[in-house]
Each structure stands twice: as structure tokens, then as C-alpha cells.
Amino acid sequence: MKSIAIIGLGYVGLPLAELFLQNDFTVYGIDINVSRIEQIKESRSQNPDVDEAFLQRMIEAKQFHLTTKPEAITGVDAVIICVPTPLKEKNEPDLSFVESAFDQLMPHISENQLLCLESTTYPGTTEEVLLPKLKASRWQVGKDVFLAYSPERINPGSNVPAYTIPKVVGGTTQACLEKATTLYEYVFDTVHPVSSTRAAEMTKILENTQRFVNISFINDFAMLCEKMNLDVNEVIEAAATKPYGFTKYYPGPGIGGHCIPIDPHYLAYQAEKHQHNPSYIEVSEQTNQEVPAYIAKKIQRYVTNQADRVLIVGMSYKPDIADVRESSAVKVLEKLEDDGVRFDYYDPFVPTVKHYQSMTEEELKKQDYVVTVILTAHTNLPISLFETISDHLILPEQLYLKQGGDQS
């Protein structure tokens, strides 16, 4: 296998394309978003996890082909689908992107081709949604074509090389599993085969639901500590002295991103179909929804008159990236606006979000704030500037201290 098509060139697909390019694959990057294709061609992808210069060299060498046309998959050894799996209005799985992508690819599938889904989804998707489409087209899966699932494990903004993160793989047949394992062994240090695509799908759901529950728990625990006049950070560090059975989680402004707030609802959807109620998801979701308003209320304690302004630092859902999907920091801004609080925000990675616009450092130097609150701790923030222009400064680790974190 030395040619591959990546369907969807977002935060998951583009770094994956780069990984295969680094291992001498010819890569066809396919995305229906014309603007995204042009941005990649012009080294403007704004993806922190790729080397724009390297991608440009691969484009010029005609090893990386960018297109919106699904027929580009014809003849490649493998096709990997990395499209969004959001939620519908009632927190039900939305597989429209997956199904649409697969339907557009169907007429162009070639014999002996591997098709692998990486989008996070509920257990059973590959077998219940994609497999029937292939069978209806009279492909013999496991003989004529091969179908597998391997959950993406991208961690935007991380310094950990993607190829060092073990790759879980499941196939619809043993032959499918072997084909997918062989593919990923070209680019990943460790490939971990599992018994089925359902097991592989459930693996990712477990990873993210565990994190969802634990973060929600520690945020709720932090709110309780504040009411009891306890320093939650001190308690966490003390508990962490136990050499077994305890994992440190730190409280923050809430859960964000394209995975952690979404994926537990995929589990809940499938659990309901099996007459099982994972009540911990509902409880955790309730906590996660309450946190931004809780933080906004704390900020408002510093506002004593209508002229007072506050500065919120960090809009992305985690440090050193530009992704604001499901960002709790944005929800804090919206709550402050709803309550009539005057505010600005500063984020060097996010110049605009919704109808808000980031202040520049030069603009900040002319301002005076009653409080500056850092919600997303990007690297190299101008802390000394914040201290100069603010009466109070709240660092991320001080969000849940009794007096709002002010140590003066």
C-alpha cells in the first residue's frame, strides 16, 4: 500500500495526511470545502499540528493532491474517512456527514480497496450504517473490498508525535482487520487490533466519556471546596501523594472541543437502544452546563458600577490552538453579555469569535480593567501587561478560590 485518500481535511484529516506523506505515500486529500482546499494550497490551513512548508513541498512534488472530487479515490489502496460527527438538536448522533461522504465515494470504490472510518461515533455505526451500503452494491466485504474502523486520537496543540500514539483498529472480518493493521503499521509505532469494529468504536467512546465525567466531577468538587472555604488545588495535590488509584484532574471553566462534550451523547444514544441508562452522563452534562455561568457570576463580583470593564483572556477550548468549538470561554462571554457586563477579550490565536473581536496588546496598554481572568492559558501570555492594566488578576488555577482567586 503506497497510495491513500483522506476524506475530510480538518483537525483530524490533515495531520493524518501529513503522517502518510512523511512515510512516502501518495496522498489524495478530498474535502467538499473549496475554501479549505485553497487555504491548504496557500499554506493557510491554520492547523497547529501540521508543517505548512512540508505540505507545500509535497504539493509541488505532486505527492499530495488536493481536490473536492470523490472520484479521486479510484485506484488508491486505501480510503480513510475523517468527517465531523456532531449532534442534532436533542443530543442525538448526526451521521449525515459520514453517510453523505460514503454515498459519494460508493460509485468510485475499486476492487481490493480498504475503506476505514476514523470519525468518532457510537458502537455499531460501521456494521449497521456502512456495511449494508457495500453489500447492497454487491461488494463482498472481506474479499472484494475491506471495511474497518480506527478511532482518531488527535490531540490538537500537543507536542507528542502522532505516530507514537497507539492505533486501535477493528475490522468487519479478519481479512479486513489484517488489511487495516498492515496500513497503519506503515505510519504508527504501535497498532492494537481488537475483535470488531464495534469494540474499536466503543474504545474511543470510553476514552472520551471517562474524561467528560472526570472533568465534570472535579469542577463540581471545586465548587463545593469553594463553598467550604477550601483550596481545591491543595486538596488535589495532597490526594496525588497517594502512589496508586488516584489520577489528577484540575478544575477549569468547563469542557470544550469537538470530542469530549459530544461523544458521551453517542454512548447514551446507543445505551438507550439497549435499555440501559448511563445516568452519570446526564449528571456530568448538567455540571458542565452550569460551570460557565458559575465563572461569570464570580467575575461579576468585581464589577461595582456600570463603567467597570473586565478582560477575559483565552477563547479557544484549550491552550495554543485556534479551535473554539464548544468552548466554555465563549459561553462565559455570552453570559457576561446577557448580564450587561462590559468586557473585552484577548486571544492571540482567535482574532474573532461570533460578533466579538480580540484586543491587541497595543490596545490593551490603553485600557484599565477591574479584573482580568485567564480562562485559556496560552503559552507566552503577557502576564506583566495584565498585571499593569488590571486591579485584579485571576489565573486559571485560582478560578475556584474563595475570593475569586485574588491574592492581594
- The DSSP line for 61-96 is TTSEEEES-GGGGTT-SEEEE-----B-TTS-B--H
The total number of residues written for the chain in this structure: 408
CB 190 within 8 A of CB 167: yes
Alpha helix positions (H), 240-301 = 263-273, 279-300
Q: Residue 296 gets which letter from DSSP?
A: H
Alpha-carbon gap, residue 301 to 165, rounded angstroms = 44
- The per-residue pLDDT for range 244-298, each reduced to its tens digit, is 999 999 999 999 998 999 999 999 999 999 999 999 999 999 999 999 999 999 9
CB 311 within 8 A of CB 369: yes
Q: Residue 360 gets which letter from DSSP?
A: P
Alpha-carbon gap, residue 327 to 307, rounded angstroms = 27
pTM: 0.92
Question: What is each CA distance from 373 to 360, 382, 386, in whole angstroms?
Answer: 16, 13, 9
pLDDT given at position 404: 44
What residues are annotated to the active site? Answer: 259
- The per-residue pLDDT for range 38-71, each reduced to its tens digit, is 999 999 887 888 999 999 999 999 999 999 999 9
- The helix or strand, by DSSP H or E, that contains position 125, with its residue range, turns out to be helix 125-125
CB 262 within 8 A of CB 92: no
For each of the domains in the chain, give its residue range(s) and CATH number, in order of start.
3-195 (3.40.50.720), 204-286 (1.10.1040.10), 292-398 (3.40.50.720)
